[in-house]
Chains A and B, each alone.
Chain A
């Protein structure tokens, strides 16, 4: 028996032993059923599996209601099943969790046009393949569905520098984490900062975005300094140099003694 075949066997054994814990985990009956249905009805499952919601364990019932653990009650109105929400209900539905964004959206031109052809959350973020909020969503592909890209371009440009900085911090966190450096505090700050920054876009108020971007910039700089107790190369250079110097010193003494 080689090493590799052992791994799945051990995994199965682990699962058997930990079956109680495993069974207590969320079983999503919606997925079990829909995955076997026709293309139209199974496609949402495939799309959801690629989404940021799936990544964070946000399952079907969070948006559609019902009981995702019981096949019989999965689509029961008594269990809060609401099916496909009406387009005008989407912002309120998403705003149930994304409260900061909802506030900005409601007061924006987008929010005021709700029910009159204005965009809802799913217009840009998708309904099942829900995409993470990045600047890639602000582009002519999405914006040009309703109007020209010109104003959105200004907002995007104003946000680009800070968003790039946030991405740099994220990369730094990943790097620090791979070196065993505690990054919890830094991650939490980054998460809050990015949410605040991305939520602000939904106001569509370019003056507010530019003004807030300056505040965000200061916060980013603070966050960048959190965590990562790196001794830097100086300590290493001193340590290595000191050892080499000692070697040279002993060599010179030895030459003298020999």
Chain B
């Protein structure tokens, strides 16, 4: 049996030079000696995205993007299709987990200073990916056409109307009419299964290409000199002589992180599926009956609460846009060479305060 695989391997190798690829690009691809488990979150995210694509494609086999049939088709998937319930829960819980792991990935990059020169574009593409992930989750949220998704989308799209002059036109453009209806479902479906996944795939490709070109950043932990060694002037690939080979060493770390993620994910899917899917998600959308508590998904709760804090919705939106723009442009604003979080107290203090504020607003939004 092993001989057969060996023959197949050599057959491919003499034609494509796969051994050379594995040797040079993987075994010869060295990572910093002090690389840590946080660096494997990118691989976890790739697995999550792949799972979302696979489960999404399977759901598309039976889902009907029509206001009269969307809810019943989802109900049919969950109750009649073998493993349909599991596939739907994988997709729905997976979307929340994707945002959660993305946030953790971004936080690790922030605290380890990996966004600093020459990796501004890595951060920027990652940040756009984060926005795209939020967008794909928001558009997917409407598709089951249940009470919660209908009303949450009604309220979420209505926020756009606060933009002076063009607000109400933008709302109509988003909804395909004055109200959330069949045209909104059509638009959100197209965005969710077509435009956004394609954009995300391209952006992931660019993100990985950038990492490949610059090399992996060195974490600031366990080193004496924790400053950024990059000098402006010419392109330098960050090499790590005597470092850890990606294959098999860090590949195994990736596999450990992916397996641990899968354990947590499976536990949520099998034992706490309703943590992310409240019971109002199982009631068909009714434009004439407003549910008592309309709340967006957990990752929008902080935005939702921020809007409520300001006397005018437009001020709330401006504040959030400014905060997001600041975060997106952080590598261009924070030019200090220091990477260790304890050696840049202002950054660490501000970052922790912002995280606590975000958690506080999320909790407040949830219980308000």
Contacts and interface: CB of A to CB of B under 8 A. Distances in A.
Interface of A: 1-4, 6-8, 10-11, 13-15, 17-18, 22, 177-182, 229, 231, 233, 235-237, 239-240, 243-244, 246-247, 250-251, 253-254, 257-258
B78 A181 contact: yes
Classify the secondary structure of B's interface with A.
Answer: helix
9 contacts: A3-B308, A10-B179, A181-B85, A229-B79, A231-B86, A236-B267, A236-B271, A246-B259, A257-B248
User: What size tier do the contact residues of chain B reach?
Assistant: 35 or more
Interface hub of B179, B260, B270, B273 (most chain A Cβ within 10 A):
B270
Contacts of A231: 85-86, 270
Classify the secondary structure of A's interface with B.
Answer: helix
Contacts of A6: 155, 158
B290 A7 contact: yes
B252 A257 contact: yes
B8 interface: no
Contacts of B159: 3
Contacts of B249: 254, 257-258
A235 B178 contact: no
Given A178-B279, A243-B263, A2 B256 contact: no
A22 B288 contact: yes
Contacts, number: 113
Interface in B254-268: 255-256, 259-260, 262-263, 266-267
B97 interface: no
Contact of A7 (B155, B179, B267, B307): B155
Nearest to A1: B313
B253 interface: yes
Contact of A180 (B270, B281, B288, B294): B281
A247 B79 contact: no
B256 A247 contact: yes
A235 to B, nearest CB: 6
A58 B252 CA distance: 67
Interface in B178-201: 178-179
A4 B162 CA distance: 14
A13 B179 contact: yes
Interface string B122-151: 000000000000000000000000000001
Contacts of A233: 270-271
A236 B262 CA distance: 12
Nearest to B365: A3
Interface in B193-227: none
Interface hub of A2, A8, A233, A244 (most chain B Cβ within 10 A):
A2
B179 A1 contact: no
Contacts of A258: 249
Contacts of B325: none
Interface in B146-187: 151, 154-155, 158-159, 162, 178-179
A250 B307 contact: no
Given A178-B282, A236-B270, A240-B263, A229 B287 contact: no
A18 B249 CA distance: 63
